[in-house]
Amino acid sequence: MTRHFLVDTDLTQAEQAQVLDLAAALKQDRYAVQPYAAPGAGRKTVAVIFDKTSTRTRVSFATGVADLGGVPLVIGAGESQLGHKESVADTAKVLERMVSTIVWRTYAQSGLEEMAANSSVPVINALSDDYHPCQLLADLLTIREHKGRLAGLTLAYLGDSANNMANSYLLAGVTAGMNVRVAGPVGFLPDPAVVDAAAARADETGGSVMITTDPAEALAGADVVATDTWVSMGQEEEKAARLELFRDYAVDSAAMEQAADDAIVLHCLPAYRGYEISADVIDGPQSVVWDEAENRLHAQKALMAWLMAASGLAELPSLPGAAAGAEGTGA
C-alpha cells in the first residue's frame, strides 16, 4: 500500500518517532540513505510542485532529493497544466508513471487528497491552507534536540489559530505526546473537527489539548513558545484587519516572561518582526528558528525515505530509525 503524508496524523506516534530518529541519523551522516538512487540504472525523479511561493520548502526538498540520490523536478506556480488546463486526477496519473514521489504546496487540502487517491507513488503535503505537516516534523526534531524529549512537554502557540500552522501544531504535537495550548481571538480558533481529531490522538498518546482566547493561560510555564505570520499566503487582502486582530497575541519579551525560564521559541518563517514576534525575541537567546529552518532538510529527507520504504518502493539500511521505518510497510 502506498503511504502518503497529507496531514500530521497520517503518521502514528511510533511512525513519527521513527521518522525523527531517521532524521537525526541523516543529520549526522547526510548521504547515508539513497532511496532515489536506482542501482545501476541512474537516479529517480521527484516532482516538487508549488502553487504558492516558497524559500525553505523549495530549497530543502530540492537539496534533500539530491542528497537521497535523486533528481528534483521543481515546478513553479503556473508552470504546468495542473489546476487550469488539467485536473488533479489526470495530472497524478501522468506523474506516477515517471516520478517516484510527488511533493505539492497548494491551497485546498482536497486537491492533495485527490492527488493521493490517484497516485501509486507517495504524495507529500508541502503546505496547504489547512496543514503544514513537513514543518512540524522539523519543529519536533528541533524541540527534541534542545529539550531531549517530546512527550510531556508543553507547547504554547499564539496568534492566528485558524491557520495551517495552528492545526499542525495541534495534530503533530499531541501525536508526539505533547500538551498543546493554542491561543487566538474569537473567530480565529481551530476548526472543531481539528480539535476533535487532536483530542482523539491525545487520548492515545497521553498528550493534551487546550484552546483558549487568553494568551496568559496558554503561556503559563510553557516549555516551547511558537507563533506564525498573522497573514498567510492567500490572505493578503485581509492584511490591515488582521494586523489589528492579533495584536494581543504577539510573542514578545512580556509573553516570554510568562513561559518557563528555559523555554525555546519557534517560528516556521518567514517572520514579520514587530507583529507576531518581536525582534528581541526572534533574534534573542531563546530563539531556535535557524536550527528549525535547517531541520526542514533532515526531517523531509527522513520522511521521503520512510515513505518509500513503507510503500515497498525502496529499502532502508539499518541506521538508527531506518530499520524501524521499513517495518511500517503496509501499516
* Residues taking part in catalysis: 105, 132, 135, 228, 268, 296
**Residue 268 in the binding site for ligand NVA (CB under 6 A):** yes
Choose, by CB under 6 A, the member of 9, 106, 164, 295 that binds ligand NVA. Answer: 164
Query: Residues 45-58, buried b or exposed e (16+ Cβ, 10 A)?
Result: bbbbbbbbebebbb
Choose, by CB under 6 A, the member of 34, 119, 135, 229 that binds ligand CP. Answer: 135
**Residue 229 in the binding site for ligand NVA (CB under 6 A):** yes
CB 33 within 8 A of CB 68: yes
Query: 253 touches which of ligand NVA, ligand CP, none (CB within 5 to 8 A by kind)?
Result: none
**Phi, psi (degrees; rounded to nearest 5) at 287:** -80, 135
Of the listed pieces 107-115, 187-195, 225-233, 250-258, which binds ligand NVA according to CB under 6 A? 225-233
Distance CA 302, CA 328 (A): 14
Q: In what order do the strands lie in the sheet with 224-227?
A: 208-212, 179-183, 154-158, 224-227, 264-267
Q: Report the candidate in 260, 276, 278 with the shortest Cα–Cα distance to residue 146.
A: 260
Other Cβ atoms less than 10 A from the Cβ of 93: the count is: 13
Distance CA 272, CA 228 (A): 9
Binding-site annotation, residues for L-ornithine:
164, 228, 232-233
Query: 229 touches which of ligand CP, ligand NVA, none (CB within 5 to 8 A by kind)?
Result: ligand NVA
Q: Report the candidate in 252, 201, 183, 256 with the shortest Cα–Cα distance to residue 223.
A: 256
**Residue 295 in the binding site for ligand NVA (CB under 6 A):** no
Question: Taking the complex as a whole, how short is the minimal distance between the CB of residue 132 and ligand NVA, in angstroms?
Answer: 6
In the block, which residue shows the cell 511561493?
53
Cell of 248: 494581543
**Residue 199 in the binding site for ligand CP (CB under 6 A):** no
**Residue 198 in the binding site for ligand NVA (CB under 6 A):** no
Distance CA 294, CA 27 (A): 10
Q: Which is nearer to ligand NVA, 53 or 81 (CB)?
A: 53
**Residue 56 in the binding site for ligand CP (CB under 6 A):** yes
**Residue 179 in the binding site for ligand NVA (CB under 6 A):** no
Site residues, ligand NVA (CB under 6 A): 127, 132, 163-165, 228-229, 232-233, 268
Site residues, ligand CP (CB under 6 A): 54-57, 127, 135, 268-269
